[in-house]
């Protein structure tokens, strides 16, 4: 294939990866920024979103578009509810102590993964896309649904930015992020803010999964890659900085698409990891991180 179309395909594939990654990583970043919790189980919330979407596609009759719309609303809510429950039952009792929460979320990772294995099974199951459309370019064809994924992810991210910067909930979250004690002194119920943040973070991962599952199929082990890439993105962007997370997701997603198309996917992973190492050595707070 000629260079031009080759690059176009690489960029389009990269954008899909970047869009989904931006959603997943912003959830992780939010949880760390506000709660100072490194959520190792984040990838499993992603997986739960996909698995729940499969169940919805089985239970909701009618056209695939309807089932998909239901999944897009119900699955993130379900996963968010589960995350709020985990926050109340586990993280709160550990007083959000950083080392303890890392171990606790590792435990949560295994519980969620094995629960999915027991209840959903080891198979990879396809979820029908809401619509079947194919984009036929002169050089190659492409899934029209992938364009929708990019658009939908962009819309959700815009909504998230509005929520954080313009709404009262966003204000309270940001206040808690800046100084937990002062926020408490001003009458903010920090426990509720934490539960809401953890739920929102998990819900974002679940939205990303519902969007991607018509392309990738739901599988109980699918949470590993998004977790790793989200960590890479969050470290590069600066822990807790949403703007940094978005820029880094675009950078990593696009470079992953382009490098793995022109060279090897393994090389893309190597370079991303190398970038993390460089960032940690030369700019430990990340590209956009405020504090060290």
Partner 1 sequence: MTRETILHPTRRSLLAGGAAALTAAALPRYAQAQSSEPIRLGFQLHRTGIGAAYGRWYERTALAALKVVNEAGGIAGRPVEILFEDDATDPRRGAEVVEKLATQARVDLIFGPLFSHVVIGSAPRAGELKIPYLVCSEGYHVASGKLNRWTLQPGITDVRAQVTAMAPFVTENLGKKVTMIFPDYAFGHDHRDFFTEAVAAQGGEVIAQIAIPPTETSFTRYFPRIPRDTEVLYHVMVGPAVLTFVKELGEFYGSGAKPEIFGFIDSLEAVDIASPGLEFLEGSHFWEGQCRMLQPDASEAETFYRDAVGVDANGAAIEDPNNVSCYGHMFSVWETLFAIKEGMEACGWRGPQDRQAFVEAVEAFTDMPAGRERPQGAKVFNAKLHQAFGHQFITKLEGGKLVKVHETSIEDSLYESDVDYTAMSF
Contact positions vs partner 1 (CB under 8 A):
1, 5-6, 9-10, 13, 17, 117, 121-124, 126, 128, 132, 134, 136, 139-143, 215-217, 219, 221-222, 225, 257, 260-261, 265-266
Q: Which one, 1 or 290, has the nearer CB to partner 1?
A: 1
- What's the CA gap between 211 and 150, in Å, rounded? 9
Alpha helices in 189-292 (DSSP H): 190-216, 224-237, 242-262, 265-282
Q: State the nearest-atom distance from the C-beta of 136 to partner 1, in Å.
A: 5
Contacts of 46 (CB under 8 A, 6+ apart): 24, 205, 206, 208, 209, 222, 223, 226, 227
Q: How many other CB atoms are there within 10 angstroms of residue 200's CB atom?
A: 23
Q: Which one, 107 or 126, has the nearer CB to partner 1?
A: 126
* Distance, CA of 72 to chain centre: 14
Q: State the nearest-atom distance from the C-beta of 266 to partner 1, in Å.
A: 7
Q: Which one, 121 or 159, has the nearer CB to partner 1?
A: 121
Q: Which one, 62 or 141, has the nearer CB to partner 1?
A: 141
- What's the CA gap between 217 and 123, in Å, rounded? 10
Contacts of 97 (CB under 8 A, 6+ apart): none
Q: How many other CB atoms are there within 10 angstroms of residue 25's CB atom?
A: 34
Q: Which one, 107 or 121, has the nearer CB to partner 1?
A: 121
Q: How far is CA 30 from CA 123, 128, 161, 165, 208, in A?
A: 32, 31, 11, 13, 15
Residues 150 and 19 sit within 8 Å (Cβ to Cβ):
yes
Q: Which one, 160 or 218, has the nearer CB to partner 1?
A: 218
Q: Which one, 242 or 252, has the nearer CB to partner 1?
A: 252
Token code pair at residue 250: 């675009």
In the DSSP assignment, the letter for residue 236 is H
Q: State the nearest-atom distance from the C-beta of 168 to partner 1, in Å.
A: 39
- What's the CA gap between 56 and 79, in Å, rounded? 13
Q: State the nearest-atom distance from the C-beta of 124 to partner 1, in Å.
A: 3
Q: State the nearest-atom distance from the C-beta of 118 to partner 1, in Å.
A: 10
Q: State the nearest-atom distance from the C-beta of 14 to partner 1, in Å.
A: 9
Q: State the nearest-atom distance from the C-beta of 247 to partner 1, in Å.
A: 22
């Amino acid at each position: 294939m000629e260079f031009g179309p080759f690059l176009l395909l690489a960029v389009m594939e990269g954008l899909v990866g970047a869009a989904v990654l931006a959603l997943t990583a912003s959830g992780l970043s939010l949880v760390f920024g506000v709660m100072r919790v490194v959520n190792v189980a984040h990838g499993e919330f992603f997986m739960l979103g996909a698995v729940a979407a499969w169940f919805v596609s089985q239970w909701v009759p009618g056209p695939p578009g309807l089932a998909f719309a239901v999944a897009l609303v119900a699955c993130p809510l379900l996963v968010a509810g589960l995350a709020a429950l985990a926050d109340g039952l586990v993280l709160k009792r550990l007083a959000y102590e950083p080392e303890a929460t890392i171990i606790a979320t590792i435990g949560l990772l295994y519980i969620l993964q094995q629960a999915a294995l027991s209840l959903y099974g080891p198979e990879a199951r396809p979820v029908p896309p809401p619509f079947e459309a194919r984009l036929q370019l002169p050089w190659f064809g492409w899934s029209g649904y992938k364009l929708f994924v990019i658009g939908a992810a962009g819309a959700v991210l815009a909504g998230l930015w509005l929520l954080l910067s313009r709404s009262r909930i966003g204000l309270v979250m940001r206040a808690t992020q800046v100084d937990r004690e002062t926020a408490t002194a001003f009458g903010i119920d920090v426990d509720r803010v934490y539960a809401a943040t953890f739920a929102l973070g998990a819900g974002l991962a679940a939205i990303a999964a519902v969007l991607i599952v018509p392309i990738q199929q739901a599988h109980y082990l699918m949470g590993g890659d998004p977790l790793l890439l989200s960590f890479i993105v969050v470290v590069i962007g600066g822990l807790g900085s949403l703007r940094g997370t978005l820029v880094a997701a675009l950078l990593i997603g696009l470079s992953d698409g382009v490098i793995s198309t022109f060279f090897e996917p393994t090389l893309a992973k190597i370079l991303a990891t190398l970038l993390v190492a460089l960032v940690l050595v030369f700019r430990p707070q990340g590209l956009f991180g405020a504090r060290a």
